[in-house]
Structure 1
Amino acid sequence: MTWAEFWALIATLGGEATEADCHRLAKRLSRRSLPDITAFAEHHAEALYRLDQEQFGSLPVVGMTTETGAPFPQSGDSFLYARCAVVAAGREAWESALSDPAESAQYTSLDYDGERLLYIPDEVYELATGKEWHRTTRYCYESFSNKDGWPHLRT
């Protein structure tokens, strides 16, 4: 599967990772070959990993403040879900976030919930094979795993 094919599949979400849209994508992808399903999972993980950068992760949650009125920081989970929302928004949004993370601040809002996107590879595998997928991908998409994106975290 090429990146173009990956982004064409993501485009079927219509810009958001809703339950219905993600399930529709999973059903469509489950009819493809196992190598395509695996390649989708690899592209999915890499797309999230590449967004795992301090410039994006240090943006505050849009519309929230602390008790003192300071900007509310993203948690590790909310940062992961914001990255999922960017990927679900499509290739253009993803490329924009990579070139200027501040342009994607809107995805830190609680109005965007990309969490459902995380489960697509597992759902697809189970639909295609009837088995649970105990998989690993080349890239870890968990927050703060991209050491190049978080230079001060390098040890």
Structure 2
Amino acid sequence: MKTKKTNAHPGDLFVVVLPDGRYGAIRIINQVDKSLLIAVTTYLEPRIPSVSDQQLQMILIQNRFSYKNESAISWYDGKIPKDFLYIGNIPVSEHEKMVECNKYSGSLSSSCAHPVYWEWRWLNDRENYENEIQAERLKREEENKHRIHVPKQMMTDVEFWTYISMLDLQQKDEEDAASPLVMKLAKTSVSNIKRFDETLAYKLYLLDTKEHAKQIGEFAYNEEEDYISADGFLYARCAAVAKGKFFYELALNSPCDMPKDEGFEILISIAHEAYVKRTGKEYYYGTGCSYESFENKEGWR
């Protein structure tokens, strides 16, 4: 049966539309509280599969760029997105129950299924794929090479780290972890929310260096391949900030102390969430410094 499903259980199979219009499939192989261990299957076809398709029991092995025979599995937080199509359940085997994974990829979205498409491109259209990745990076660099990154009005360090200390990192769900900080910021002024955003962007910008990118764990920057996931590096920098002042300053001055295989994606959404709660309107604001990866030109020389 093909239907929408908002909750999830180990063994559940979901189909996702890939960038080229074909279908990919992911399977949940473990669940801890609100976190899901997602496996990308080898399924890649122009039609929606039936639950009996053998490819749905096969986990994709990745070899593109810096990957070396690595299983496409990762932990995600959040509810099942609306664009996930539930097709059935294949009970998790005893072997699968023993699978260990320390990779965390942030909030669950349809992009979790994209590795099967990227691997297909790597095998069947590698030159164009590599050129596209390089072109995207060069485009970002060209668009921003003349930008001067200067923060606008920021909080004092004491103010900023006091707010960051409100994150409840004992919570496994990012939204739950961020909630105390969002609620506190939402009770302050709009200008204060923007000052928080400015300070956060600047802290993330300072960590945007090649040396820091080399130290984020399994998917760190590979100099030979000249590749790293821009989003993955951003979320790792978010994790460094979320851990507080002492950890951040240690990592800033000693890149080898960057968090390994960790992320805290929701951090860059906190100002937006607080603003919406405060005003009931959408948040449109550009910080003086960009937190996006590769924006710190000096750091990537």
What band does the TM-score fall into relative to the shorter chain? 0.7 to 0.9
Of residues 135, 143, 149 in structure 1, which corresponds to 2:285? Answer: 135
Point out where structure 1 has 5 or more consecutive residues left out of the alignment. Answer: 66-72
How far off is 1:58 after superposition?
Answer: 2.2
Q: CA deviation at 1:5?
A: 0.7
Structure whose alpha-carbon radius of gyration is higher = 2
Q: Secondary structure at the match of 2:217?
A: strand
Does the 8 A contact of 1:7 with 1:90 survive in 2?
A: yes
| CA offsets 1:37-88 (integer angstroms, 9 cap, x no match) | 11000001001111101101123534x69xxxxxxx6411110000000000
CA distance in structure 1 between the partners assigned to 2:215 and 2:229 by the alignment: 11
- Contact 1:74–1:108, Cα closer than 8 Å, also in 2: no
Describe the superposition over 1:5-25 as per-residue Cα deviations: whole angstroms up to 9, x where unpaired: 110110111457822121221
Q: Is residue 39 from structure 1 mapped to residue 195 from structure 2 by the alignment? A: yes
Q: What does residue 159 of structure 2 align with?
A: 5
Task: Map 1:41-120; keep pairs closer than 5 Å.
Answer: 41-59=197-215, 61-62=217-218, 74-104=228-258, 107-109=259-261, 112-120=262-270
More strand by share: 2
Q: Which residue of 2 aligns with 1:68?
A: none
Contact 2:168 / 2:180 at 8 angstroms: preserved in 1? Answer: no
Gaps of 5+ in 2: 1-154, 221-226
1:135, 1:83 → 2: CA distance?
A: 21
TM-score normalized by structure 1? 0.83
In the alignment, the residues of structure 1 paired with residue 165 and residue 217 of structure 2 have an alpha-carbon distance, to the nearest angstrom, of 25
User: How far apart, CA to CA, are the structure 2 residues paired with 1:15 and 1:55?
Assistant: 26
- Separation (CA, whole Å) in 1 of partners of 2:283 and 2:291: 17
Change (3 A) 1:74 1:60: farther
Aligned AA for 1:20?
D
1:124 maps to which residue? 274
If each structure's helix is expressed as a fraction of its own residues, which one has the higher value?
1
> Alignment length, in residue pairs?
141
Instruction: State the shift of 1:2 in Å.
Output: 1.5
Aligned to 2:175: 19
Give the stretch that moved more between structures: 35-44 or 52-61: 52-61
Q: Secondary structure at the match of 1:149?
A: helix
Relative CO higher for 1 or 2, CA cutoff 8 Å, sep ≥ 6? 1
**Aligned mates of 1:21, 1:41 — CA distance in 2:** 18
TM-score, length of structure 2 as denominator length? 0.44
